[in-house]
Chains A and B, each alone.
Chain A
Amino acid sequence: MAHRIVPADPFSIRVSDGEIDDLKRRLQRTRFPNEPLGNEHWAYGTNLSYMERLIEYWRDDFDWRAQEEKLNRFPQYRAMLTDDEGEDHTIHFIYERGSGDNPVPLILTHGWPSTFREFLDVVDALAHPEKYGKQGPAFDVIVPSLIGYGFSSIPRIPIGPSKIADLWHRLMTEVLGYDRYAAEAGDWGSFVTSRLALQHAESVMGIHLTMLPLRPHLKHESQKPVSEEEGHWIAKMQRWWRQEEGYRSIQSTKPMALAFALMDSPAGLAGWLADKYYRLGDTDKTDTMEGMIARFPFDTILTQFSIYWFTGTINAANTLYKAGPAEGSALLKPGEKVTVPTAYSEYPIDTLPDTPRSWAERSYDIVRWRMMDRGGHFAAMEEPELFADDVRDAFRDMGITSGMAAR
């Protein structure tokens, strides 16, 4: 049994009136770019008509206070942890205690360009399945803001998923007092969660991923040659990345060529991020405008963007693309593999669709494999019920149920 040795302070979000006024003033004087012919399907990047409607809504109709109230409905805390190099990190997190005796502690980690808001619509359903007529397990739900994101602190020097995973482990053990816990994530969260499973295997009961970031050391003798199916998939992925990697490329090499603009222009921030929601969300691509709005209502997507804006974290968030690769933590060492039971659920619209299971099994102990029929990269926002059901089912299938994680 672990002891709670680090305190967590209750926290709620309160953006000042002055900051809200300042945002509206900036939106008021937005200067939009020209748009090339033929951008109805966002072929050249974020669509202008969409942006004009989004920015008009943000300026005239968006009610931050209402969204803030919604965010604050869940209990939030901040806890400070000092890392090995002596730097203090403040971790912001939602902590919703689950129903029943000894719910399963579950830490859900968001990615870029998202925030803890991504999981807001599934917190209650995961903590209290009985309220929704669902079978357990019930979870103690922990949703942190990544270091450098949202209401967590900005690191002095950008840190990567491996270091963040160590902080998450300490959050779960030293702050919240759990011995063992489960974890769920996609995007950068899946890097953190995979590192958590590698670095703290004894504490992690099981993980549920919607993205598989670890890469095997293919040259090692333990690795079978790349199969035809894997080869095709790798080639397809590389082609996709050539078209899509611009953002990653700049954020991983020169984030501060970009930062001065994104910290100054809320419309610019929205334009930079909206592209990813269009590309990776399961939106109706026949009517791109209505499809985008239906999938990501203005209030939802603007809450995401507003969190980046009000916390001034876009640059710190982007630099994860520099810190992550620098850490080299996505490439497994020869012979290394995640031994924690892993459930993978692939949503049809995402960065690496049709992952061969054989590829996943090189890096993970895959015990459950699901191809979802709808939803995208932001599944918890896009399909909250489907997502919550799948996460519950996955951990139940893995035999991880309430009462297992004695405190």
Chain B
Amino acid sequence: MSATKPTPFSIDIPQGKLDAILGKVRAYEWRDMPEIAPGGDRWAYGADMDYMKELCAWWTEKFDWRAAERKLNSFPQFHAEVDGQKIHFIHVKGSGAKPENLILTHGWPGSVFEFYDVIERLAHPEKFGGSAEDGVNVVAPSLPGYAFSGKPRKPLGPKATAALWDKLMRDVLGYDTYIAQGGDWGSVVSGWLAYNHSTAKGGGCKAVHLNMWGVRPSVLPETEEEQKWAAGAAMTFELESAYLRLQMTKPQTLSYAMMDSPVGAAAWITEKFHGWSDRRGKDGKEHIENAFTRDQLLTNIMIYLVTDTFGTATWFYRGMFEEGGTNMAPGTKVEIPTAIANFPKEFLVFPPRSMVEKGYNIVRWTDFEHGGHFAALETGEVFANDVLAFVNQIRG
């Protein structure tokens, strides 16, 4: 068990790699797909082919990976080895004189790119009309098997990742205490940081900010409101969980296709960005581009493709399964201060506060009017302000 010093890193993908990917995108043959029933949702069966065509045209004609790469390299990045896992992370020192430390964890099918619009706001709020004193040290790692982190030899799950993160913060970066933030897998990793690596338990996590319902207390829904939530959540799970069941049981069976077909991987990922985001537009219509630009979607997709990590990223689901799921031991809860950021179009809807409180020491609960699963990317300013407000609340 060990941790190495960070070594600086910046992204520079060989041109040949980009050419190979773009070559396959250009050569993609669009075949007939079944018609959706009249009046039906064009995304009802998965990804909408018309939109995929538009996105791929943009990909080959307008999208500029080198510009995306410059943006990704605009924050200092590092590699460090923690317990034998090579971890990639962004590390930006905050403006504050005695800054708090914040670790932001992304999920699937996202990446650290989700945080690019909030890092500066969190580290240097004075640039956005805030106070320099509030600026925090921001650390945003890529999950094991994702993007520029190393590929584990076998699946690792969120619980194991939380243990790596605690060492990354304390042993590699020397931050004795920190606040964890996350959505999607990030909410599960952050939940385990709060549960297993809290300051009370000898770790460094002193508070947690969650924008998804990840690590859960072992309790059953009790009130009528809780039961209603449980029924709705079960319905959503039935319709939306196929990717999860597959990635949790047979990631390899899926990976041959997704590793070999850039357009295929793009469709698999885009379907999720579409389904889980707040697509409501000012005109009252819904469109994926009300939530993300094409360049944003493609930058995130390309991070999977240029690093050949589609397969190893899906292993995380299997890793969660193998390490025993996401439930706390019966009768236990997260004791450190917890903030819940409840975005309206999050597809995994939070239970009623009464139920969340059985698992967490809630000190802040914010219901937002806009935003979805990828809140930091969808509504960065609102997201960053809520995190900063929570940090201030913790500082007292």
Chain B contacts of A82 at CB under 8 A? none
Task: Check A256 against B49 for contact (C-beta < 8 Å).
Answer: yes
**A242-274, CB < 8 A from B:** 242-247, 249-250, 252-265, 267-272
Contacts of A39 in B (CB 8 A): 252
> Residue B33 at the A interface, CB < 8 A?
yes
Q: Which single residue of chain B is at the shortest CB-CB distance from A37?
A: B154
Q: With A157-B35, A256-B267, A268-B264 given, is the CB distance from A244 to B259 under 8 Å? A: no
Contact check, B268 vs A261: say whether CB atoms are below 8 A apart. yes
List the A side residues contacting B266 at CB < 8 Å. Answer: 260
Is there contact, CB below 8 Å, between B46 and A255? yes
Sample of 18 further A-B pairs with CB below 8 A, known A257-B267, A261-B257 = A33-B259, A33-B308, A36-B155, A44-B250, A154-B32, A156-B34, A157-B35, A246-B247, A249-B245, A253-B239, A254-B46, A254-B242, A258-B257, A265-B257, A270-B256, A271-B255, A275-B250, A322-B45
- Whole-angstrom distance between the Cβ of B59 and the nearest chain A Cβ: 13
Q: Mark B240-279 against chain A: 1 for CB-CB distance below 8 A, else 0.
A: 1111011111111111111111011111100100000000
A34 interface contact, C-beta 8 A = yes
Among the listed stretches A24-32, A195-203, A295-303, which one makes contact with chain B, having 4 or more residues with CB under 8 Å of it?
Answer: A24-32
Q: Per a CB cutoff under 8 Å, which of B45, B49, B252, B312 touches A46? A: B252
CB-based nearest B residue for A278? B253
Q: CB distance B256 to A257 under 8 Å?
A: no
Min CB distance, B308 to chain A, in Å? 7
B261 and A260 contact, CB distance less than 8 A: yes
Which of A30, A252, A268, A316 has the largest count of B CB atoms less than 10 A from its CB? A268
Are A246 and B34 within 8 A (Cβ)? no
Which bucket holds chain B's interface residue count? Answer: 35 or more
Question: With A36-B155, A246-B246, A256-B47 in contact, do A264 and B253 touch (Cβ < 8 Å)?
Answer: no
Q: Which of B280-310 contact A (CB under 8 A)?
A: 308, 310
Given A254-B243, A254-B271, does the pair A45, B154 have CB atoms closer than 8 Å? no
Find chain A residues with CB under 8 A from B261 CB: 260-261, 264-265, 268
Bound CA span A275–B252, Å: 9
> When the two chains form their complex, are residues B253 and A272 in contact, meaning their CB atoms are under 8 A apart?
yes
Q: With A246-B249, A272-B256 as known contacts, state yes or no: A264 contacts B312, CB within 8 Å.
A: no
- Complex CA gap A315/B33 in Å reads 7
A405 at the B interface (CB under 8 A) = no
Cα-based distance from A46 to B259 in the complex (angstroms)? 14
A319 in contact with B45 (CB, 8 Å): yes
**In the assembled complex, B20 has its CB within 8 A of some CB on chain A:** yes
Is B318's beta carbon under 8 Å from chain A?
yes
Give B1-26 interface residues, CB cut-off 8 Å to A: 20, 24
Contact A257 B34 (CB under 8 A): no
Chain B facing A: main interface SS = helix
Residues of A within 8 A of B (CB): 29-39, 42, 44-48, 51, 154-158, 242-247, 249-250, 252-265, 267-272, 275, 312, 315-316, 319, 322
A52 shortest CB reach to chain B, Å: 11
Q: Which residues of B contact A244 (CB under 8 A)?
A: 249
A154 and B247 CA atoms in complex are apart in Å by 29
Cβ of B395: which chain A residues have Cβ within 8 Å of it?
none
The 6 closest A-B pairs by CB, nearest first: A261-B264, A268-B257, A271-B256, A256-B46, A45-B252, A246-B246
A42–B250 Cα distance when bound, in Å, is 9
In the bound complex, CA of A374 to CA of B3 (Å) = 54
**Which A residues lie within 8 Å of B46 (CB)?**
254-259
Q: CB-CB < 8 A to A36: which residues of B?
A: 152-155, 251-252, 315, 318
Given contacts A44-B251, A46-B252, A249-B246, contact A257 B47 (CB under 8 A): yes
Query: A154: which B residues are within 8 A, CB to CB?
Result: 32, 34
Judging by beta carbons under 8 Å apart, are A32 and B49 in contact? no
Asked whether, in the complex, the Cβ of B308 is within 8 Å of the Cβ of A261, the reply is: no
Confirm or deny: B106 has a beta carbon within 8 angstroms of a beta carbon on chain A: no
**Residue of chain B at shortest CB distance from A273:** B253
B252: contacting residue among A48, A264, A267, CB under 8 A: A48
The chain A residue sitting closest to B260, CB to CB, is A265
Q: Which residues does chain B contribute within 8 Å of A272, judged by CB atoms?
A: 253-254, 256-257
In the complex, what residues of A have CB within 8 A of residue B49's CB? 256, 260
In the bound complex, do residue A258 and residue B28 qualify as a contact, i.e. CB atoms below 8 Å apart? Answer: no
CA of A83 to CA of B257 in the docked complex: distance in angstroms?
35
A381 CB to closest chain B CB (Å) equals 20
Partner of A246, one of B31, B245, B311, B312: B245
* Whole-angstrom CA separation of A254 from B308 in the bound complex: 24
A-B contact pairs, 10 of them (CB 8 A): A34-B151, A156-B34, A246-B253, A256-B33, A260-B268, A263-B29, A264-B260, A271-B255, A271-B257, A316-B34
Does A33 lie within 8 Å of B311, measured CB to CB? yes
Given known pairs A254-B46, A257-B267, the reply for A31 and B308 (CB within 8 Å) is yes
Q: Tell me the smallest distance from the CB of B173 to a CB of chain A, in Å.
A: 28
How long is the Cα–Cα vector from A35 to B154 in the complex, in angstroms?
A: 8
Q: Which residue of B lies closest to A156 (CB)?
A: B35
Residues 208-256 of B at the A interface (beta carbon under 8 Å): 239-243, 245-256
- Flag whether B132 is at the interface (Cβ < 8 A): no
Q: In the assembled complex, which residues on chain B have CB atoms less than 8 Å from the CB atom of A37? A: 153-154
Q: A232 vs B315: C-alpha distance in the bound complex, in angstroms?
A: 32
Interface pair A262/B253, CB less than 8 Å apart: no
**How far does the Cβ of B108 sit from chain A's closest Cβ, in whole Å?**
14
* Residue contact A32 to B154, C-beta cutoff 8 Å: no
CA distance in complex: A38, B257 (Å): 21
Chain A contacts of B260 at CB under 8 A?
30-32, 261, 264-265, 267-268
Is there a chain A Cβ closer than 8 Å to B97's Cβ? no
With the chains together, A158 CA to B265 CA distance in Å? 24
* Interface status of B37 (Cβ within 8 A of chain A): yes
Q: Are B251 and A264 in touch, CB under 8 angstroms?
A: no
Find out whether the CB atom of B249 lies under 8 angstroms from the CB atom of A260: no
CA distance A155 to B255 in the complex (A): 28
Complex: A255 Cα to B310 Cα, angstroms:
19
B20, B24, B48, most chain A CB atoms within 10 A: B24
A173 to B393, CA, bound (A): 78
Q: CB within 8 Å of A: which of B50-81?
A: 52
CA–CA, A155 to B37, complex, Å? 12
Contacts of B32 in A (CB 8 A): 154, 312
Taken together as a complex, chains A and B put the C-alpha atoms of A34 and B153 apart, in Å, by: 9
- Measured between alpha carbons, how far is A245 from B33 in the docked complex, in Å? 24
Name the residue in A39, A42, A250 with the highest tally of chain B Cβ atoms < 10 Å from its Cβ.
A250
Cα distance A243–B248 in the bound complex, in angstroms: 9
| Contacts known (A36-B315, A37-B153); A268 close to B256, Cβ less than 8 A | yes
Chain A residues with Cβ below 8 Å from B254 are 45, 246, 258, 271-272
How far is A32 from B261 in the complex, measured between Cα atoms in Å? 10
> Could you say which of B45, B311, B312 contacts A255, with CB atoms under 8 Å apart?
B45
How many Å lie between the Cα of A190 and that of B311 in the bound state? Answer: 34
Most buried by B among A245, A261, A267: A261
Among candidates B242, B248, B265, residue contacting A250 with C-beta atoms closer than 8 Å: B242
A364–B245 CA distance with the chains assembled, in angstroms? 32
Least Cβ distance of B141 to chain A in Å? 20
- Among A44, A158, A261, the residue within 8 A (CB) of B267 is A261
